[in-house]
Amino acid sequence: MEIDRTLGWLQATPVAKAISENEILFPWIESVHVLAIVLVVGTISIVDLRLLGVASLDRAVSRLIRDVLPYTWGAFVIAAVTGSLMFSSDAVHYAHNFFFRGKLVLLALAGLNMAIFHLVGIGDVARWGKTQQTPLAAKAAAAVSLLVWVTVVAFGRGIGFTMH
């Protein structure tokens, strides 16, 4: 397949070869990846629990999002970069791995869920965001987010148990 040729080229690049041939590079990158994803999931759940009306109720929603999400995004960028580096080291195999493919789909779902919430679900957040009661659309988006991120972690572990 055409895509396999591209992936074959990717895993032959000097950076990818260095990661696959060096014994300690991969574990170091993987450790940073775990640290980053742990912070993505943990910080995003602070926002999700607020949207569900469970915690941080004394903070306005838009304010809390401004407080917390920069850390989530920072950690996400680190997770994406380290994830791409690990992927490059064995690109063809990862691309054919069920859990890797599933994880990409789940990440797309997380992005879609967030986009829908910000574009149509968030509504008049300046009004409802100050109250403890949150609208159904916000609760739904938060529940989907929590569920998707929990599954992302599970699929990530699934990759580890099926790749080597």
Partner 1 sequence: MNPTFAKSLNAICVWIDQTALSQAIQVTNWVVPAVQTIHILAIAVVASSALMIDLRLIGVFWADRPIKEVSSRFLPLVWWPLLILFATGAIMIISEPARSLKNPAFQLKMMLLVAALIVTGLFQFFQRRDAAFGDLRPRPRAAAVTIAIVSMLLWSAIIFAGRWIAYYA
Which member of 16, 46, 79, 122 binds partner 1 (CB under 8 A)? 46
Q: Is 132 in the site for partner 1 (CB under 8 A)?
A: no
Q: Is 134 in the site for partner 1 (CB under 8 A)?
A: no
d(CA 44, CA 149): 9
Which of 148, 159, 138 lies closest to 60 in space, CA to CA? 138
Compute CA distances 33 → 26, 27, 28, 36, 75, whole Å: 10, 10, 9, 5, 9
Q: Is 95 in the site for partner 1 (CB under 8 A)?
A: no
H/E element, 110: helix 98-116
Compose the 73-92 pattern: x for residues touching partner 1 by CB under 8 A, - for all others: --------------------
Q: Is 144 in the site for partner 1 (CB under 8 A)?
A: no
Q: Is 93 in the site for partner 1 (CB under 8 A)?
A: no
Nearer of residues 7 and 79 to partner 1, judged by Cβ: 79
Q: Least distance from C-beta 113 to partner 1, angstroms? A: 18
d(CA 100, CA 94): 6
Question: Is the separation of the CB atoms in 127 and 52 below 8 Å?
Answer: no
Nearer of residues 10 and 155 to partner 1, judged by Cβ: 155
